Amino acid sequence: MSLQFGSVRSVFVVGCSDIWRRWLAGGGWHPENLRKTLIRQVIGRITSFMVTPSLNYRRVDPPFDYWGEFRSSTWSLMLNSHYINDSAILYKNFLEICCTIYHEIRHAEQIYRIAQGLASGQLRDPDASSAKELKLMQGENLSVQSRIAMFEAVIAGQNPLQTNLVASATEIADRLKIPEHVAKHAISHRDYFTNYLNAPRPRWFKRGTVLDEINEWMRASYQGEYKNFDQSVQVKHAGMEAIYRDLPEENDAYGIEDDVREAILQRIGSRAYLNTPRNNIQVFGP
């Protein structure tokens, strides 16, 4: 299971269509609470293969173009409540919220796949010098013989993460700057990493193999791009936007987002009414 699979995208698109249909209908709920509940439910359905990010909100009013962001350190998705609380939300803005959710959750999957790859020994930490790897022995409850074996492995140029002795949740969490319970989940499901590698390669991947693509994500994450870019802010300058979208993790997330946007438009329809508010019941119904 992965966000890049058409079956998962379809679940999300159906969920978004249902949210749009029920946007004004409380049904015993306060409309804003119903919207947030439905959003949380659909996110849960598409992330059952990994740790579902917690969902939080903060209000940022236009003209600042803020939609949401994934925060790996807290494993949480932040959405702009300005749009969630708007009964007159424009159709195009609803589409942007839906696409933001899928885009940002994809960033969560990228990091989760890196953690799985490190846990399974199929990815090598690009920032691991011998001195750094030897430091992994500190604090571990290991025998003298185990420490000697680890030392010899490092000297021989082998990857200590390929052994169960050092593929700890604490180390993976520290390297990726993620909560330890996420790393533990990735470790417990590390065998599924091979299944992911053998899945069909998405057409938007820039590298020739799935493993090479994940290595690109990992190198980008170590260079700080996940942490130093505000992934939720739309870059308006054409040149800067092109550079931003060319980043490995962004190229992937936008590739998925484009498919999601088109699928939602096909499901809901009404392409001619992108600038029409949801409370126009003549166009969109009650």
pLDDT single digits (tens) 180-209: 999 999 999 988 999 999 999 998 888 888
Judged against a pLDDT cut of 80, whether residue 75 lies above it is answered with: yes
pLDDT of 154 reads 54
pLDDT of 208 reads 85
pLDDT tens string 85-115: 999 999 999 999 999 999 999 999 999 999 9
Q: Where are the domains of the chain?
A: 6-119+194-284, 122-166
SS3 state of residue 119: helix
The pLDDT of 227-248, averaged and rounded, is 53
Judged against a pLDDT cut of 90, whether residue 159 lies above it is answered with: no
d(CA 123, CA 221): 13
Judged against a pLDDT cut of 90, whether residue 152 lies above it is answered with: no
Judged against a pLDDT cut of 80, whether residue 3 lies above it is answered with: yes
d(CA 23, CA 89): 9
pLDDT tens string 109-141: 999 999 999 888 888 765 554 445 555 555 555
- pLDDT band (50, 70, 90) for residue 242: low
Tell me the two tokens of residue 116. 């799985």
Q: How many helices (H) and strands (E) does the chain have?
A: 14, 3
Contact 20, 278 (CB under 8 A): yes
pLDDT tens string 49-69: 999 999 999 999 887 888 999
Judged against a pLDDT cut of 50, whether residue 234 lies above it is answered with: no
pLDDT of 137 reads 52
CB under 8 Å to 74, separation ≥6 — which residues? Answer: 54, 179
pLDDT of 136 reads 54
Judged against a pLDDT cut of 50, whether residue 160 lies above it is answered with: no
| Residue 237 vs residue 19, higher pLDDT | 19
| Strand stretches in the chain, DSSP E | 54-58, 68-71, 76-80
- pLDDT band (50, 70, 90) for residue 237: very low
d(CA 75, CA 77): 7
pLDDT averaged over every residue in the chain: 82
Angle at 171 between CA 168 and CA 176, to 5 degrees: 125
